[in-house]
Structures are given as C-alpha cells and as structure tokens.
A and B are shown apart, each in its own frame.
Chain A
C-alpha cells in the first residue's frame, strides 16, 4: 500500500489520486518518505518516554546507575574473584562497565522492539501512522539511558586517571558513533525479526528473554576476545557485539583486538540483520491486528 504513489488518470482537469490502498503487499515498500512526514510524532514519542519516566520515579535518572553498578559488583565477584577470568590487564571495573552498558543498550533495543506489536496493540488497532515510527522511537529513547550510563563510565575512568592509570585513547575513538549506530541497528534488526515472527508464533516471545541472557556469553562482555581459544574466536566474532566491544575497549583503553576487517564484517552482518528486520516488520505490520 504505497501511499504517495501517484495514480495516473485520464482526466487532466481534476486532481489526481495521491494514494492507493491495495490488498497485495510488496516486499520493498519501506515507505521512508511517508515516515519522514511523521517526524513530529517521532519526537513527541521520544519526549513522552522521557517525561513519563521522570514523572513516575522519585530518584529519576539515578535509577539508570543502580543496575550497572550492581551488575558490575556481581561480575567482579563471580568472574573476577571466583573464576578469575582475564581482563586483558585492565582494572575490572574499567573492563566490565563498557560491556555492561553497551549490552544493556543492545538488549533493551532487542527486547522492546520484539514486543512492539503487543505493547502497542491498542494504538495500532485504532489509528494508522507509519508503524516503523514506534520501533525507531524505542531505539532513540533507549539511547538517552545509554548516554546517562556512559557518564558513569567516564566518572570511573576519571577516578582511575587520578589514581595514576593513563587511558590510551587513540584515533579509533572517531569510530564511536559508528559503534553506537551498529549496536542500535543490530538490536533493532533482531528485535524486529522476533516481533514479526511472534505475531504468528507466539511461543517465540518466551524464548527471547532467555535467549538474550545466553547471547551475553557468546560475546566479549565478561571476557576479552584474546582469552578465548583461537579455534572459536571467529565464531565469537560473528556476533557484531564482539567487534563493537573490542573496538570500544581499543579506542578508549588501548586494549582489545581491533581490525578493520572485523569491523567491516560486523557492519555487513548488522546491515543484513537490520534490513531483514525492516522487511519482515513491514510485511507483518499491515494485518497483524487481525492475528495477534
């Protein structure tokens, strides 16, 4: 149903039809132009998520810090003190914290996108707007939390700096925006794939929470890539999150393995996942109201 596709008519004196609703559903109609028309809605949804969160809590954004700090202590205790997993020679808080924060962001993008149809059923079943606006607003409003949590990392970094540890910030820091985009796109892509599948096979939604927890161990949140056996490193590298985390550690802390080839591979995988998610989402969005 390509709104915006002009329909040709023979009557030249009268205004032409400007849109058409059809029964078929083309694979490639992502309706970017139409979504752009609704950009005001996108910003209002962002604002809504932000304001609503503040109004509901006393501590407001302080809550954003509680979860990573507690997780950090647990990781330091379990993987540091008990299992004694290597951290590439870095202090444990500096090693774990970026992993925790990035993983949080990725997981939130994935989980919130995967339930976007169910969470917004009432809205979707009553009024039309380009559906993709909602997943997009999820990714960006989660980004607010990401930045707030990242400030915690900066504080920890400064503490270590004054204690005499010199972070080895290098030119790859210019890649940070790209890493953020990759994280968002990868999380959203996977989330949209799941959301599209769960409208038909609802059981899948039960696996997702569990799956995300397991996925954590398939990437380098709690261990550095060079601590993994060489034989399985390429498989760990298949998860774009691995490359993202390794590149991040390399850019700020001078540790971690960085290679352009890995980054290209992660980008390609992310793009594939992202577009698969978009296409599946746009295929399902239309009639999901009838099935969910």
Chain B
C-alpha cells in the first residue's frame, strides 16, 4: 500500500467567540485591562485557565482525519461555514490547528487568493518574481518557467509596465499564471477560479486538471461550483459544521451534498425567526420552470420558480396577506426584494392548514456569487413569520444578455444592467 502524501490526524480548530476586537478603543482598553487583571489576580494556573474558558468557543473544525495520495485531485464540499476555508488555512499553514497534527512530504503551495503580495508600483516582471517567491518558488525555478508564465497570462506586451496600470483582468491572469506554474508537490486552491472571463476560467480549469492528471501532483480544491469540482476532482470530502461527514468518489459526494441541501430547505426547524407564528413558512424549493426539477444550482439569466409551503394555525388571517422574499448577498446586504405589495397583487390563502404559493422570477439577473433569502409573511401590519437566512444558495455565472457574453466575476457586482456602447 502506497504511503499517503498527506496524513491529517484528528485536527480541530477552536475559535473564541466575540471579545476579539470590539471595534472601539475604550472598550478594548477596558476589556484588555479587565482580562489582564483577572488573569493576574487568578490564584493559580487552573483558575486562570477557567477564566479563559468562560468565553464561548466555536468549533470550526472537529476531529477531521483523512489521507491524500499522490496524484489525487480532491474537492472539498460544504455549505458556507462548514469549515472548508479553515481546513485550507491550516493545510497551507496560515494558522495552526488547536488539536491534532498533519504529516506529509513535499512542498505545499497554497492559493487562497490570487495575486497575494503583488506590489502596484512594480512591473509585471518584478511581480512575477516577488509573487513566485512568496508562494515558495526559488528564483531559478521562476526564471526557468518565466516565458511560460508570461505566455499563459497573455500580458507579454505589458510585462515591464507597473501592474497598477493593468486592467483587473490582466492583473488576475498574471497572478494565476504565476500560481499555475508552481513546482510544488501539493497545490491548494480556494475558489480563485471565480475570476476573469469564462474563457480564462476554462483555461485555468484545464491547467489545474493537467497539474494533477499529467504531472501527478496532488490538488486540493474548494469551490461552490459543483460543475468544476466534478470536472477536476476524482475524490471529494464533504464537510458540515466542521465535521467530515463523508469522503469518497466525487460524484457520490456531490449527490449527497445536494440531497442534504434539499432537506435544509425545510423551514420548520429554523430557529432564526420572529413573528406570532399564526402562519409559518414550512418549505422552500427553487425549481426550474421548464423541467419542474428542484434546482441544486441556480444559473444567472434563467427563469426561476420559487415554491413556498405554508402552514397556518386555526383562525389565522385569510385575506390581505403580504409575502416577501429578500435577497441578501454573502455579506448580509439586501440586494433586492420580491413582494406582492410591490406588484400590487392582493393575496389570500385557501382555507386549509397547508398551502403552497408559487412565484415566478423571469430571467434572474443576479450575478455569480453566494446569496441568502429572508422570508416574510404578514397581514395588516401584523408579522406572522419572518425567517432570516432561510436558504443560502449559489448563483452560477452565465451570459445574461445576448450582447453581453462574458460573465460578471465574483466581487464585480451583483446585478446585470442592459447596456450598449453607442
């Protein structure tokens, strides 16, 4: 049996909740002095430790163990907050595990962000060397690959121009080109593919595929895009709430992840809600109106059918209902709202305990990214149910308008506008 290239032994990561950086200086000072004083006055070590333990802790990772073999391309799948990023951070040694250990051989190069350490005043050439060195390459290795890097990035003509004059596309292409030519045995990549135009994204995916398949290197890859994980990875890990739920063939893991997502849309157990509960949200489904299939991946520019099941108590209002769906981006900022009050439609429910409301969204104009829904039902100013973060989902980028063929990359905005250069 071949020995694994990386062996992860029961690693856990615990974060202290709150208390780190309250934002204001005076409170910091107060907290600092208080905790320092109480630690000083603690009679012994145990007491001091007890004081520290009082703070609530969050287990970002819990007893995660797995092994990777040479040439594996492994996808890490999980919802937001499942611990994917923490795992990558520990593997790339940006932060240490609270418990457990990792053993391995060979160099690890990690790509948690494209263009880390680029200096705007330096030329493309100088930044290739600097960025390469930051990522762990030796100067002679960079020299050896220099021409290939420049060719891959497609910025030959601007290689001696300071990168502050680059367009954001050129910047990202150059940065990825450096990273793609790392000569490390293990490569860790965090969703950096959600950048650039779709042609370059395809090029990057192809390059990553050849890194693991042709060069026999080990690749760890985190993405919300199941399609790229499916294409790239032969194995996958499924994380949920910091625990490793399952590992195995990518197709199986993706299926399990998608099944798990469906059950998540059951809203009855959702705790984060307000209202008198006379009418409550029961289930939420996002459906493709053409095929009537429940969607696991929502695509920009396609029609979307939202189906909401309600459950009503006896005597709950029947007429003048207001049902709204708020779309928040990953930072919790409201992006848009669907509401029958906006469209001026009056809603009333059938006189039954459970019923379903369907809402058709024509041509979803949300750009690529992570979003979450807030659900709201009321009548005559009385809130019946208000569910926060009812359902996180990922919108896949695609061409929205016929004349705008490229997709809007992550961080470039949340909406498409219909524009034309005259």
Contact with B along A156-187 (1 / 0, CB 8 A): 00000000000000000000000000000000
Contact with B along A1-19 (1 / 0, CB 8 A): 1000001010100111111
Q: CA–CA, A235 to B133, complex, Å?
A: 45
Q: CA–CA, A286 to B7, complex, Å?
A: 20
Contact with B along A272-290 (1 / 0, CB 8 A): 0000000000000011011
* Closest Cβ–Cβ distance, residue B121 to chain A (whole Å): 5
B101 touches A20 (CB 8 A): yes
A51 touches B92 (CB 8 A): no
Q: CA–CA, A20 to B105, complex, Å?
A: 9
Contacts of A25 in B (CB 8 A): 96
Contacts of A15 in B (CB 8 A): 3, 105
Whether a CB of chain B sits under 8 angstroms from the CB of A44 is: yes
Known: A41-B134, A127-B135, A201-B36. Contact between A48 and B94, CB under 8 A? no
Closest B residue to A289 using CB positions? B95
A126 touches B116 (CB 8 A): yes
Contacts of B98 in A (CB 8 A): 23
Q: CA–CA, A1 to B91, complex, Å?
A: 12
Contact with B along A21-64 (1 / 0, CB 8 A): 11101000000000000101100110110011001100000000
Contacts of A125 in B (CB 8 A): 94
Whether a CB of chain B sits under 8 angstroms from the CB of A122 is: yes
Q: CA–CA, A41 to B116, complex, Å?
A: 14
A51: which of B11, B93, B99, B122 is its contact (CB, 8 Å)?
A: B122
Interface size on B, residues (CB 8 A): 49
B32 touches A203 (CB 8 A): yes
Contacts of A22 in B (CB 8 A): 96-97, 101
Whether a CB of chain A sits under 8 angstroms from the CB of B243 is: no
Q: Known A-B contacts: A22-B96, A45-B130, A123-B117. Give 9 more (CB < 8 A).
A: A20-B104, A23-B98, A23-B99, A23-B101, A52-B119, A127-B112, A127-B117, A202-B21, A290-B95
A128 touches B103 (CB 8 A): no
Known: A44-B130, A51-B126. Contact between A202 and B32, CB under 8 A? yes
B96 touches A17 (CB 8 A): no
Contacts of B15 in A (CB 8 A): 290
Whether a CB of chain A sits under 8 angstroms from the CB of B90 is: yes
Contacts of B103 in A (CB 8 A): 7, 17, 19-21
B90: which of A11, A21, A38, A292 is its contact (CB, 8 Å)?
A: A21
Tell me which residues from 43 to 93 in chain A have a Cβ below 8 Å from any Cβ of chain B.
44-45, 47-48, 51-52, 55-56
19 contacts between A and B (CB under 8 A): A14-B2, A18-B106, A21-B90, A23-B96, A23-B100, A25-B96, A40-B139, A44-B130, A45-B130, A51-B122, A126-B110, A126-B113, A127-B113, A127-B116, A128-B92, A128-B94, A128-B108, A202-B32, A289-B89
* Closest Cβ–Cβ distance, residue A71 to chain B (whole Å): 28
Contacts of B421 in A (CB 8 A): none
A40 touches B106 (CB 8 A): no
B97 touches A23 (CB 8 A): yes
Whether a CB of chain B sits under 8 angstroms from the CB of A129 is: yes
Whether a CB of chain A sits under 8 angstroms from the CB of B25 is: yes
Q: CA–CA, A9 to B7, complex, Å?
A: 13
Known: A23-B99, A201-B36. Contact between A48 and B3, CB under 8 A? no
Whether a CB of chain B sits under 8 angstroms from the CB of A259 is: no
Q: CA–CA, A221 to B130, complex, Å?
A: 38
A48: which of B11, B20, B126, B135 is its contact (CB, 8 Å)?
A: B126
Q: Determine which residue in B20, B100, B134 has the highest number of CB atoms from chain A within 10 A of its CB, and name it.
A: B134
Q: Determine which residue in A21, A40, A129 has the highest number of CB atoms from chain B within 10 A of its CB, and name it.
A: A21
7 smallest CB-CB distances across A and B, nearest first, come from A128-B93, A41-B133, A14-B3, A21-B102, A17-B103, A18-B105, A40-B139
Contacts of A129 in B (CB 8 A): 134, 136
Chain A residues within 8 Å of B, Cβ to Cβ = 1, 7, 9, 11, 14-23, 25, 38, 40-41, 44-45, 47-48, 51-52, 55-56, 122-129, 201-203, 286-287, 289-292
Contact with A along B7-25 (1 / 0, CB 8 A): 1000100010000110001
Whether a CB of chain A sits under 8 angstroms from the CB of B246 is: no
Whether a CB of chain A sits under 8 angstroms from the CB of B176 is: no
Whether a CB of chain A sits under 8 angstroms from the CB of B162 is: yes
B94 touches A203 (CB 8 A): no
B134 touches A40 (CB 8 A): no
Q: CA–CA, A37 to B48, complex, Å?
A: 40
Contacts of A9 in B (CB 8 A): 3
B101 touches A201 (CB 8 A): no
Contacts of A292 in B (CB 8 A): 21
Contacts of B25 in A (CB 8 A): 203
Q: CA–CA, A15 to B119, complex, Å?
A: 39
Whether a CB of chain A sits under 8 angstroms from the CB of B51 is: no
B28 touches A202 (CB 8 A): yes
Contacts of A38 in B (CB 8 A): 133, 136
B96 touches A287 (CB 8 A): yes
A286 touches B134 (CB 8 A): no
Q: CA–CA, A47 to B20, complex, Å?
A: 36
A44 touches B129 (CB 8 A): yes
* Closest Cβ–Cβ distance, residue A137 to chain B (whole Å): 11
A19 touches B104 (CB 8 A): yes
Closest B residue to A13 using CB positions? B3
* Closest Cβ–Cβ distance, residue B143 to chain A (whole Å): 11
Contacts of A126 in B (CB 8 A): 94, 110, 112-113, 116
Tell me which residues from 129 to 149 in chain B have a Cβ below 8 Å from any Cβ of chain A.
129-130, 133-139
Q: CA–CA, A123 to B131, complex, Å?
A: 11
Contacts of B215 in A (CB 8 A): none
B95 touches A127 (CB 8 A): no
Whether a CB of chain A sits under 8 angstroms from the CB of B360 is: no
Known: A203-B28, A203-B29, A203-B32. Contact between A287 and B95, CB under 8 A? yes
Contacts of B97 in A (CB 8 A): 21-23
Q: CA–CA, A48 to B154, complex, Å?
A: 24
Closest A residue to B140 using CB positions? A40
Closest A residue to B70 using CB positions? A15
* Closest Cβ–Cβ distance, residue B136 to chain A (whole Å): 7
B122: which of A1, A20, A52 is its contact (CB, 8 Å)?
A: A52
Known: A23-B100, A203-B29, A287-B95. Contact between A127 and B134, CB under 8 A? yes
Q: CA–CA, A41 to B101, complex, Å?
A: 27
* Closest Cβ–Cβ distance, residue B311 to chain A (whole Å): 42
